[in-house]
Amino acid sequence: MQEVFIYLSLIVIIAAILTIILRAIRQPPIIAYLLTGVIAGPLMLGIITPGTNTSGFIQVFAHLGVALLLFIVGLSLDFRVLKEIGKVAVFAGILEIIATASVSLGIVLSFGFSLKPALYIATALAFSSTVVVVKILSDKKEINTLHGKIALGILIVEDFVASLALMLVPILENQKSNISVLSSVLSIIVLIALVIFVTKYILSRVLEYLARNQEVLFLAGIAWALALAALFYETGFSLEIGALIAGMSLASSKYTLELGSKIKPLRDFFVMLFFVFFGSQLASGISLTLVGEAAIISIFILIGKPLIVMSILRTRGYKKRTNFLTGASLAQISEFSLIMILLGFTLGYVNQEALDLVIMVAFITIAASSYSIYYSHYIFDKLQRFLWIFEGSRGKIKEYDKRTEKTYDVILFGYHRLGYKIGLELKKKKMKFLVVDYNPKVVLSLAREGIDSIYGDASDKELLSEIGIGRAKLIISTVPDESVNIGIKRKLLELDSSSTFIATAEQPREAIALYDYGVDYVIIPHHLGGDYVANMISEYDENKIKYSNKGKIHQKELREGKDNSLYI
């Protein structure tokens, strides 16, 4: 036992050191964990080798990590989310999975794999990493951009499909006849129905009582996840699927966010051990053939998969910039990919070579896509003249396109949240203004309200000329993208315009750069929020009634804007 403790401590220390090093070169922790597994595995230190106590413990922890991961994934898989992310994400997500899996299947079969392992590998390659994409887009403050929302929507669809596959594959593989398959499907349906019943009529009431104490709520969440994992395991299904169902059963609960945030630190530790275990499975040696096959598949995932996404989004009318940034975000394989291939390996349908192949593809694509996401805007600027084929047509939006020789007092770039509030004030002052937004849904909604709006990209220099940006008295950009705002300012300088330009930045460093470029005023949302609260304190002191009255006004505004998708 002491040996296991020492080895486990060593693994955690190696993982921590590698995470710090790789963070400096903008690599996600997953790469550090996989590398830790390679170092601790039979290829190097031999700490994690089949048959040892350490390997057994790590494997148990890995299963626990997957169970907690799937529990939290389940918490986010509220079926109502599919309505919120819209038809585009569902359409693009399903088509992308089918197209990626089909091409991957052809590639893998050409390597000489038989059909069944090739199907497992192809299915595994069809999914992108929610963990990697959300982390990097959050770091870049792009989660709420159009391409960020579409990418997140596609990832949610992929998670739904992956979860369904993880449920059905063991059933289909373990049963010998159609009757036994039907029996297993009916069994899992009955189990899920029972879980939903217990959650709705019993657990929801219990949680209301338990939520009075944060520690008790945390333990209750863990207990629910592990109880269902054990129940599903004992009834012939995998424990991971039980944990997934446990999460999904609570997805519509008002305690979802609280449970997720409490369990995430624990999940992160065990998930780290899961990826370490996976890295240690790279046990058969790295042959030139394996490297070559992994390189070919990785090239397809890094280039072919984004092209598939871009082609699909083009048919929906989105501009090449949105299509490119969305596609670049999805150019890697997922943690679900590793779970799927491990499932095939456990069932005996995938050999060590296939397992090693997917692990290597994970290494390459996650590492490379981290850079492609971080520098996606720079890459697009260099490649955009070659991407004309991915420029979507406006379709329905064309009939609402208001571009004429009109002169506007104000041109407003971006109408989401901040732009919405600005638009309300412009309407109140009866100023003639034009909204430019590259979300078709926003443009269509504004057109129905009778607001002059066009579907366009603020980084498009030709568009800036067409809308007469130099004739407007005031230009406001709510787009928190430094390169976009500098491009608008350059155009104004080129036109020798005296227009007042207000831009937006997320960070003080970016604001200073924009001021240096000649922008008249830069909005930094969190700074303005701090100023607003400081003024309230100065005016209200400690007067509870004044704060409460102000809060009621704010609450009324929020509730009135709740049904406005442009604001929310």
- Structure confidence at residue 563 (pLDDT): 47
Say what the pLDDT of residue 278 is: 77
pLDDT of residue 285: 61
pLDDT on residue 401: 41
Give the sign of the dihedral formed by CA 16, CA 18, CA 24, CA 29: negative
Q: Give the predicted TM-score (pTM) of the model.
A: 0.67
- Domain span(s) for CATH 1.20.1530.20 in the chain: 2-181+267-386
pLDDT of residue 207: 78
> What pLDDT was estimated at residue 233?
78
pLDDT of residue 75: 77
Long-range CB pairs of 539-546 (<8 Å, 24+ gap) are none
Q: Report the distance separating Cα 359 and Cα 281, nearest Å.
A: 8
Question: Which pLDDT belongs to residue 191?
Answer: 80
CATH 3.40.50.720 in the chain, residues?
398-523
pLDDT at 79: 57
Determine the topology of domain 398-523 in CATH: Rossmann fold (3.40.50)
User: Are 170 and 342 in contact, with CB atoms under 8 Å apart?
Assistant: no
**pLDDT the model gives residue 400:** 36
DSSP bridge partners of 436: 413, 454
Contact 443, 454 (CB under 8 A): yes
Q: What is the pLDDT of residue 410?
A: 92
Distance (Å, whole) CA 269 – CA 256: 20
Question: Which pLDDT score, from 0 to 100, does residue 555 have?
Answer: 81
SS3 474: strand
Measuring CA to CA, which residue among 271, 275, 272 is closest to residue 363?
275
Low-confidence residues of the chain: pLDDT under 70: 1, 50-51, 53, 76-86, 143-144, 170-181, 184-185, 236-238, 254, 257-258, 283-285, 393-406, 417, 440, 559-568
Q: String of b and e for 509-520 (b: at least 16 CB within 10 Å)?
A: ebbebbeebebe
d(CA 453, CA 465): 16
Residue 20: per-residue pLDDT: 92
Q: What are phi and psi of 539, to 5 degrees?
A: -85, -40
DSSP letter for 476, please: E
So what's the pLDDT on residue 396? 45
Instruction: Quickly name the fold that domain 2-181+267-386 has.
Output: Na+/H+ antiporter like fold (1.20.1530)
